Structure 1
Amino acid sequence: MRKLLKIILRILLYFIGFIAVYLIAAFGLSAISTPAENTSDTKNVDIYILTNGVHTDVVVPVESDAADWSKKVEFKNVRKPDTTARLVAFGWGDKGFYLNTPTWAQLKFSVAFKAATGLSTSAIHATFYNSLTEDASCKKITITKEQYKRLVVYISQSFKTDSAGNYIDIKTTANYGDTDAFYEAHRRYNLFYTCNTWANNALKACGQKACLWTPMDKPIFKKY
């Protein structure tokens, strides 16, 4: 019995130590900024970062010279298509969270465990907007055309595709509203690569201010 208690205590200490190191890294590395790249090119493409208080989306024009997202993320995949929408928000995350957790009160341990340990698959949540208002949870960032092209590549590479190269629409009734849809995505969500890590890396991909690393949304918005 004493030997068993020692083993349990050791496991508990390891777990507490891991959590402590993780939190120190999360807050410490989030506070370190990677600067925006220097460029003399004209900045004329408006993008946004958008948070619901926990999760960060990256919002881009539906149509531009660099990409026409409506050809891949089709209007017909949402409940009430509005082809006049000018913006589309992309968020990457755990598929179980997206589809099986309408509210935090309904979060199941199995979903949280699979997400934290990378045992689940991921999805991209795409939402159309006609306009956005800048405030504490929505920040506009103006970038160059070349920077936006890199962002397009980053987002595009996050989608899984079928044999014809089409994004794979997830048929579900778990939509958040009338203008959103879910798509199969690459990578797996875990403690070290979260929805906010994905969004933070999107900013790095197009040469904008970002955290050195973060699993959280608030450190990203503090940069803006």
Structure 2
Amino acid sequence: MIAFLVAGFFVATWVGSSVSRNTAWVEPAEGVEIMVGTNGIHTELVLPLVTPIKDWRADFPASDILDPARAYTHVAVSWGEREVFLNTPTWSDLKLSTAVGAAIGGDGLLHVAHYVRPAPGPENRPLMLTEPQYARLVAAIEAQVLPPAQRIRHRGYASWDVFYDAPGRYHLGNTCNQWTSDTLAAAGVRIGSWTPLPGGVMKWIPDAD
């Protein structure tokens, strides 16, 4: 029975991630370049730190991390489950009880990493948006950013990242990877409908040449 349920889940994720949203979208030739990153389990949106549309330094100041002095050029923003984020510095630290708790339901948390000129590659794929599309992406992310007086900051895994309390409820139907695809969809990008796994997101983003 368990094997059947697991197999059914993977079939459902394949089908759900193959049904596209924003089917008419075509990547523009110019605009604002972002990146969609993955570590094979989790996805993130890598954004230019400052553009005429948005200066992320106000929302995610470098003073919130342990090494604020570097010349950061980008921030990577992702969303996930609180206990998994805070108690799993490496995937080998993930406990079955934590994973099951997240699947059933847990509080959301934003993870923000500061990067210096991140290089494109198979795990960090460039994606061009028009300025209006990027503005919609920014608005979708801003909706997850609590006012400074209402959010708690949590130390990250390294000297260049940090966690923030965020709204939303994580569960098997609303995962970190679903957040990534929902945010891209809000910008108008063609992306899968249900993408609980990273492959369901990344298969829509062309690999860097």
Residue equivalent to 1:195: 176
Describe how 1:9-158 pairs up with structure 2 within 5 A.
Answer: 13=1, 18-34=5-21, 35=23, 37=25, 43-82=30-69, 84-118=71-105, 120-158=106-144
Note the alpha carbon deviations across 1:123-176, whole angstroms, 9 max, x for none.
Answer: 10001111121111111111111111100010111123355xx7x24233xx22
Classify the secondary structure of the residue corresponding to 1:158: coil
Give aligned-pair identity as a percent.
Answer: 30
Q: CA deviation at 1:20?
A: 4.3
Residue equivalent to 1:6: none
Mean Cα displacement is larger for which, 60-69 or 149-158?
60-69
Q: Give the aligned length.
A: 204
For the 8 Å contact 2:13–2:200, the answer to whether it is kept is no
Q: CA deviation at 1:18?
A: 4.7
Q: CA deviation at 1:36?
A: 5.2
Q: Report the residue type matching 2:78 in the other structure.
A: G
Q: Report the residue type matching 2:178 in the other structure.
A: T
For 2:169 and 2:4, how far apart are their aligned partners in 1? 24
Runs of 5+ in structure 2 lacking a partner?
none
For 1:132 and 1:58, how far apart are their aligned partners in 2? 12
Q: Tell me the TM-score normalized by structure 1.
A: 0.83
Q: Report the residue type matching 2:67 in the other structure.
A: K
Runs of 5+ in structure 1 lacking a partner?
1-12
Give the ranges of 4+ consecutive aligned residues of structure 1 lying more than 6 Å apart after TM superposition.
none
For 2:40 and 2:6, how far apart are their aligned partners in 1? 22
Q: Report the residue type matching 2:129 in the other structure.
A: I
- Pick from 147, 171, 174: which aligns with 2:154? 171
Change (3 A) 1:151 1:95: same
* Richer in helix (by share): 1
Mean Cα displacement is larger for which, 68-77 or 108-117?
108-117
Change (3 A) 1:31 1:106: same
Q: CA deviation at 1:24?
A: 2.1
Q: Tell me the TM-score normalized by structure 2.
A: 0.88
For the 8 Å contact 1:51–1:137, the answer to whether it is kept is yes
For 2:62 and 2:8, how far apart are their aligned partners in 1? 44
Does residue 200 of structure 2 align to residue 213 of structure 1?
A: no
